Every structure is written in C-alpha cells, then in structure tokens.
Amino acid sequence: MVSISLSPHPVDTTRIRAAIQALQPDLVAWRRQLHQKPELGFREQLTAAFIAQKLEAWGIEHQTGIAQTGVVAVIQGDRPGAVLGIRADMDALPIQEENDVPYKSQHDGMMHACGHDGHVTIALGTAYYLSQHRDFAGTVKIIFQPAEEGPGGAKPMIEAGVLNHPDVDAIVGLHLWNNLPLGMVGVRSGALMAAVELFNCTILGKGGHGAIPQQTIDSIVVASQVVTALQTIVARNVDPLESAVVTVGKFNAGTAHNVIAATAQMSGTVRYFNPQFDGYFEQRIKQVVSGICQSYGADYKLEYYSLYPPVINDERMANLVRSVAETVIESPIGIVPQCQTMGGEDMSFFLQEVPGCYFFLGSANADKDLAYPHHHPRFNFDETALGMGVEIFARCVEQYCH
C-alpha cells in the first residue's frame, strides 16, 4: 500500500470551495434528473447512460457494461502517484414515491429512497472537478456500482477487475445519511456497518383437527418455541461487549380457527460487526432449530444466506477522511464517531480488498421537512449535501494523491 501522510497537505481551499459552489446548480439538476428515472439493481441502463454521457462530454476515460450496468471512470493527475478509488452506488428501491415534488419518480413502483441518486451526483461532480483540476499525483478511479440494495453489485465488479489496471491502492465512499443533520459527518475506524445474513425456515409438523391435538404435531407451537429460543443466541452465546442481532421478521402459518397447521414458515436476519462471527450464527441457528424439532417430533427445512460482510474501515484512511471532513465542516463538533449502524452495505467487499473508509454525510433538514428515514416513501434530503460531498472527495484526492 502507498504510505499515507498524517500531516495535512497544503491545498488551495478557497479555490476548491469556489469551484464546487459554482457547480452546485448543476449538481441539483443532475440529481433531480436521476431521481425521476430510478432503476432497480442490474437494470440501471438509463442511469449508466446518463453517467457515460457526462463523462464523454467531459473527455474522461471510462468503461461501461461492467458487471452488467457498472461504469468506471479513470482520471489521471498531472504526475505519477497512487491510485485512489471512489465508489458510488446507483440503484433505487421498489417503493412507490409519495413526495409531491416536481422531480418525483416517473417510474411506477420505484424510487430513489436511499440517496443513491445523490451518491451518483456527488461522484459525477467529483469527476468533473478533477477533470478540470488535474494538479494531483497519480490516478483517481471512480466506480459507479449497480445493485447495492440487492443482490449486490460490488462483488461482481471486483471479479470483473475494477480494482485493477491500474491497481487501486485505497478507496473511499460515502452514504448520504438522514440519521444525521446536514453539516455533520459520521466517520470512524473499524466496524461501521454490520454483516448481513438472512434465513428462511419451514417447520414440518403434522396437521389435524384443532379439537384432536394428540393426532398432530403442531407446527405453530414448534415454530413459536424456535422464535423464542433464537433470542437466546445473542443473550446467552454472544459476549455482552459485542453487538449482534437475530430477528425473526416474518411468520406465516395456519389456515383456519380449528385446524392445526402442518407447516409454519419464518424468515429473519442476522447482523453483527465482528468478522469472527462469520459462520457462527448459521451453525447455532441450525442447532437450535434441529434440537427443538427433534424434541417435538417435527422436521424442518432451513435456508441460510450470507450476503454482505461487515464494513470495516482502515484506521489510517479513516483518519484521513476525518481530517478532511473537519476542514469542510469547519467544526470538530460536526464529526460524529458514534455512528455505527446494524444496516449493511456491500462496500464491505471493496474494503476487504484494499484499505479504505466508508463514511456518512448528514443530509437531513427537519426545517425543510427533509428528515424522513431511508427506505421511506417520502425520503428526500437537503441537496446542500451534494456540494459538501464533492468537496470532501476532492480534498481526499488532494490529501492522498500528493
């Protein structure tokens, strides 16, 4: 890895801010265009075309069609040096938008309810700024990634070679975050976001008449015991100083008042920060389900999926982002290290390959009614955050590529 200087590298802060402030109207216009045309994972053709059109117009080297719809832009500095990656996700969610705004989603049943339209815009703004100000050493590779919301586009892009030719030395990414007010940045080293694992379980009992239970194996009773017992995994098997969650979010069984159900289905999720738990919860859930079913004479089918590992930030890269954010925000009070969340992100796959930092950029503004949570049908954010995001990325380039 290329060494990172911990002492601030002098930059022309006035020039950077003035250039980005002049770009702000364009950032807003791009974001609103993207917001009107949301697309689901691996279907981001219009979004990718919009990105490619801008990059082509600015004379920025780029490649399209990576992992189906991904785009990668490469911007060379004016002298040799390190390679810094910047990652932005592109996909929307299957949610019907309820906002009454001129730029409301035009695609029925889809909306940008998590800020990815802002992420693309910030990355585009950064690309434009860097193409006009190439007085940095090395190369910046901007990765526009599909399908973060599912089934996951980071791993396919890595497998397609986006971190190679030239090889990325470090990477940064941000998430607009309505859990923080505008003007705050959440950044920390170590675990920021949790691993995401899912399971589906079907309890196979024996149905019958509700008035003759001795002839049955009640799948609802068995499944209820499973739900209760699963809560003890965190309570009694995980160190209290660690953080983990086992949640059963779906439970379906039964057809009538007087019928004992033959089957019961449940689905849930597991979250944790410590990578050492990889594989542990799957094994423990199997033991709990198997043991309870055996004691009741029932059988089961269990499907378990490990989707994303935890997001683990490199300490030196987190320190770099923190120092840059303090310059942009101009107040240490605006930097929040207590920003962990059990939400998941496939930025984690990039951070497994190269050192980097993923951080939160506060985007909520309750005074403007822009504080609805992520994945809400009225999610929206303060667009002032767009310019702030571009400035943070531009200053990261100045500090890392020098």
Nearest-angstrom CA–CA distance, 129 and 270: 41
- Among 372, 301, 322, smallest CA distance to 112 is for 372
- Determine how many CB atoms are found less than 10 A away from the CB of residue 291: 13
- Among 388, 371, 387, 380, smallest CA distance to 334 is for 388
Instruction: Give the CATH class of 195-308.
Output: alpha beta
Q: Is the pTM of this model over 0.85?
A: yes
Pairing mode, if any, of strands 61-66 and 70-76?
A: antiparallel
Please tell me the total number of residues recorded for the chain in this structure. 402
Specify whether the CB–CB gap between 246 and 228 falls below 8 A: no
Question: What is residue 252's predicted lDDT score, i.e. its pLDDT?
Answer: 98
Per DSSP, the three-state class of 293 is helix
Q: Dihedral sign, CA of 36, 41, 47, 49?
A: negative
Q: What single-letter DSSP state applies at residue 332?
A: G
The domain covering 13-191+311-400 belongs, at the CATH homologous superfamily level, to Zn peptidases (3.40.630.10)
- Among 193, 260, 181, 264, smallest CA distance to 222 is for 264
Residue numbers of the chain with a pLDDT score lower than 70: 1-12
Q: Which of 39, 44, 91, 383 is catalytic?
A: 91
Nearest-angstrom CA–CA distance, 195 and 272: 5
Nearest-angstrom CA–CA distance, 227 and 288: 10
398 catalytic? Reply is no
Question: What is residue 330's predicted lDDT score, i.e. its pLDDT?
Answer: 80
Domains 13-191+311-400 and 195-308 share a fold: no
44 catalytic? Reply is no
Residue 241 phi, psi dihedral angles, 5° rounding: -85, -10
Q: Which of 44, 148, 218, 391 is catalytic?
A: 148
Q: Dihedral sign, CA of 33, 34, 40, 43?
A: positive
Amino acid making up residue 191:
A
Question: What is residue 338's predicted lDDT score, i.e. its pLDDT?
Answer: 92
* pLDDT tens per residue, range 140-194: 999 999 999 999 999 999 999 999 999 999 999 999 999 999 989 999 999 999 9
Tokens at residue 378, please?
């009225």
* pLDDT tens per residue, range 96-114: 999 999 999 999 999 999 9
Domain borders along the chain are 13-191+311-400, 195-308
User: Within its chain, how far is the Cα of 119 from the centroid?
Assistant: 11
User: Within its chain, how far is the Cα of 397 from the centroid?
Assistant: 22
Question: What is residue 59's predicted lDDT score, i.e. its pLDDT?
Answer: 98
